């Protein structure tokens, strides 16, 4: 089943949620003060070079306080919206299981009757077998989705950005999660240093070869106070223009399997942190231009997808 519309000839998250749950569904981002094995020395230090330090907010507030702030804002626009608590910042499975159970249950309880799912962002190397088993049981009661940061399938780029995780680790975790029917959303970044559209499409091929249910795509955000920005100041690399980004995304969609749900096509950052590309703060313009480019060039999700034997 696909969720195409005339305006968006691809599986948009909004249409997917609408048909699956019958109402407006909103994700409520939460910051539970996790860390990452690529920061604490388990696998590396400093994190990926592009990472400023997680995308969540409200560091000093409880889960309950965070949930109330966000849900109060949402309720003003969509009074009957359904909720998906979303553990967003850093690696949100990277704690002992008893601590995780406490945090997840707290968010579930706060959401109450309006909850339809639980979303957890993490790394493929930061989710243990006992956590997977627990999430598999939880998934029988409530829809659980796991967001995994891949960024690129190019392992040379992976080393350059200090990802500290192999493609095989990613594949292994995907397979373990899917044995429990847990939905997986993968994150990728366009515009990483040294990568071109050919690399981006190879990453799409890699994703197509796995049992993946969703994807989040965004451009590289070169942020102040990151290792990548320090590298850029010493040796500048190409930063994608808006037009380049739009063309890459359109081609990625056309090469993407047509059963995968597209959760995001662009991201932005606080302007006081953003070095380049400046056009990313025009989020809705970028998204509208992506849709326009796809329609004008008679593209749609899966148009260029060629099924290959699953090697994983």
- What does each C-alpha distance from 305 to 3, 135, 191, 208, 308 come to in angstroms? 17, 32, 22, 9, 9
* pLDDT of the residue at 271: 87
Q: Report all structural domains of the chain as residue ranges with CATH numbers, in order of start.
A: 13-296 (3.20.20.70)
* pLDDT of the residue at 310: 57
State the Cα–Cα distance between residues 286 and 184, nearest whole angstrom. 25
* pLDDT of the residue at 45: 85
Q: What is the DSSP letter of 297?
A: T
State the Cα–Cα distance between residues 300 and 250, nearest whole angstrom. 8
pLDDT single digits (tens) 117-147? 999 999 999 999 999 999 999 999 999 999 9
* pLDDT of the residue at 101: 97
What band does 57 get if pLDDT is binned at 50, 70 and 90?
low
State the Cα–Cα distance between residues 219 and 247, nearest whole angstrom. 12
Average pLDDT over residues 74-93: 93
> 159-168, 198-207, 263-272, 289-298 — which is least confidently predicted?
263-272
| Backbone φ, ψ for residue 20 (5° rounding) | -80, -40
pLDDT single digits (tens) 239-248? 999 999 999 9
- What does each C-alpha distance from 188 to 34, 201, 303 come to in angstroms? 21, 11, 20
What band does 210 get if pLDDT is binned at 50, 70 and 90?
very high
Which residues are 117's β-sheet partners? 143
- Average pLDDT value for the chain: 93
Q: How many CB atoms lie within 10 A of CB 141?
A: 9
Percent of the chain, pLDDT > 90? 85
* Sequence-distant (≥ 6) Cβ neighbours of residue 27 within 8 angstroms: 83, 84, 85, 86, 119
Percent of the chain, pLDDT > 70? 96
* pLDDT of the residue at 309: 63
| pTM of the predicted structure, to 2 decimals | 0.95
Provide Rg for the chain, Cα atoms.
19
* pLDDT of the residue at 24: 93
Q: How many CB atoms lie within 10 A of CB 161?
A: 23
**At which residue do the structure tokens 């409200």 appear?**
58
**At which residue do the structure tokens 């309720």 appear?**
75
pLDDT single digits (tens) 214-232? 999 999 999 999 999 999 9
């Amino acid at each position: 089943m696909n969720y195409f519309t005339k305006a968006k000839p691809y599986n948009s998250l909004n249409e997917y949620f609408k048909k699956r749950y019958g109402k407006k569904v909103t994700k409520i981002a939460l910051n539970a003060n996790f860390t990452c094995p690529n920061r604490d020395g388990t696998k590396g230090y400093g994190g990926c070079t592009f990472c400023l330090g997680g995308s969540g907010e409200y560091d000093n507030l409880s889960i309950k306080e965070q949930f109330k702030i966000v849900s109060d804002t949402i309720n003003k626009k969509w009074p009957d919206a359904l909720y998906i608590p979303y553990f967003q910042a850093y690696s949100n499975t990277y704690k002992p299981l008893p601590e995780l159970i406490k945090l997840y249950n707290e968010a579930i309880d706060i959401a109450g009757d309006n909850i339809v799912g639980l979303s957890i962002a993490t790394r493929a190397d930061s989710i243990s077998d006992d956590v997977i088993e627990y999430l598999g049981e939880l998934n029988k009661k409530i829809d659980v989705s796991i967001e995994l940061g891949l960024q690129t399938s190019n392992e040379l780029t992976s080393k350059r950005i200090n990802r500290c995780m192999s493609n095989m680790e990613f594949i292994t975790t995907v397979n373990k999660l899917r044995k429990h029917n847990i939905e997986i959303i993968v994150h990728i970044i366009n515009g990483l240093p040294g990568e071109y559209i050919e690399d981006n499409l190879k990453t799409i091929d890699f994703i197509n070869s796995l049992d993946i249910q969703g994807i989040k795509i965004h451009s590289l955000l070169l942020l102040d106070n990151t290792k990548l920005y320090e590298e850029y100041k010493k040796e500048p690399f190409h930063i994608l223009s808006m037009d380049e980004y739009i063309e890459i995304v359109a081609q990625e969609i056309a090469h993407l399997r047509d059963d995968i749900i597209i959760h995001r096509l662009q991201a932005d950052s606080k302007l006081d942190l953003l070095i380049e590309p400046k056009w990313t703060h025009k989020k809705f313009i970028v998204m509208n231009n992506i849709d326009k480019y796809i329609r004008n060039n008679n593209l749609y999700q899966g148009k260029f997808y060629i099924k290959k034997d699953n090697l994983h």
